Amino acid sequence: MKRTFLTLATMIVAATAQAGPYPSFSDPAHRVLPSQINAWATSVANYSPAPGVGAGFSNPNNTLGANNGSITSLGDLSSEQISQGVLPGSITVAFDQAIVDRSGADFAVFENASTFFTDPVVFAELAYVEVSSNGTDFVRFPSVSLNAEADLTTPFGRDFAGVDTTNIRNLAGVHPAGFGTPFDLAELADLPEVTSGLVDLASIGFVRLVDIPGNGAYTDSLGNPIFDTWLSTGSGGLDLDAVGAINIVPEPATIGLALLGMLAVGARRAFGKRA
């Protein structure tokens, strides 16, 4: 749980982290504003939180529509729960208008990482990101997390650790409230789920977030252990605010209007030539 009782004086205590190979959360070129979103998630296909999510943070409908600060938490797992095989929390949201792979970022995940530390370090609760075109077959974004346990900034203890966002790629949860973490579907083009036809990058209708308990038991795509703020309780694990699509498949009515417009322009040109 984010410690809202911390005073301003204690929140500005920080440590300077060694910059990694990826952009910081503060880089304007690598974050998404709500104004860039063309469609927001419209329904929840599945919500399976880990045990112990507080009642005030367990309404999955908080994730629908535009980001507004209302969150749904996925919950965190203790070492004992991990060893017992308890599954991390997850949520799958769906879109009325499908997301499509075009140039640049295609959608963004809005969380509420906190900037209690010095840039590029944030209080972060991370999650894997997966997409699907049919709601059954999902493909996960290849992720990288280069932070080691010894690199964490912990002036308030392990359960209030800060992580260096320049060491993280393709994981949700690195941007503070009001900013979205971008994801580009083109990065999935060569993965088996896509090349086999199970997932169609021209028609993504579902985005799934799977929480990462950040004690190092879960790994990135390269096999590196992933560390984040752990163990968090109450509003533990990833706190999802919203998922927004940047590139979308136009609705049929929109396509029809565009075609009518093109036909009208063509007719005017043809009439002008006859005249």
Cβ atoms within 10 Å of 82's Cβ, excluding its own: 15
Q: Which residue has the tokens 């979103």?
A: 37
Percent with pLDDT over 90 in the chain: 83
8-250: CATH topology is Jelly Rolls (2.60.120)
- What the block records as the tokens of 137 is 């077959």
Q: Which of 162, 155, 167, 151 is nearest to 228 (CA)?
A: 162
Q: What is the mean pLDDT of the chain?
A: 89
pLDDT given for residue 151 in this prediction: 93
| Averaged pLDDT for residues 84-108 | 98
Mean pLDDT of the 1-14 span: 37
CB 159 within 8 A of CB 151: no
How many CB atoms are located within 10 Å of the residue 273 CB?
7
Q: Is the pLDDT of residue 128 over 60?
A: yes
**Looking at residue 274, what is its pLDDT?**
53
Q: Strands 121-122, 107-110: parallel, antiparallel or unpaired by DSSP?
A: unpaired
What 3-state DSSP class applies to 61? helix
Amino acid at 232: S
Q: From CA 160, how far away is CA 183, in angstroms rounded?
A: 27
CA 43 remoteness from chain centre? 16
- Is the pLDDT at 261 greater than 80? The verdict is no
Burial class (CB in 10 A: 0-12, 13-18, 19+), 45: middle
Strand pairing of 127-132 and 138-140?
antiparallel
Whether 56 contacts 236, CB under 8 Å: no
Say what the pLDDT of residue 266 is.
Answer: 52
Taking the C-alpha atoms of residue 228 and residue 212, their distance in angstroms, rounded to an integer, is 8
Confidence grade of residue 2 (pLDDT, cut at 50, 70, 90): very low
Quick: pLDDT tens for 28-57: 999 999 999 999 999 999 999 999 999 999
What's the confidence (pLDDT) of residue 269? 56
CB atoms within 10 A of CB 26: 15
Mean pLDDT lowest among 83-92, 128-137, 158-167, 256-265: 256-265
pLDDT exceeds cutoff 80 at 103: yes
CA atoms within 13 A on the CB side of 235: 19
> Is residue 267 predicted with pLDDT exceeding 70?
no
Q: What is the distance between the alpha carbons of residues 206 and 189, in angstroms, rounded to a whole number?
A: 17
Q: 273 pLDDT exceeds 60?
A: no
pTM: 0.88
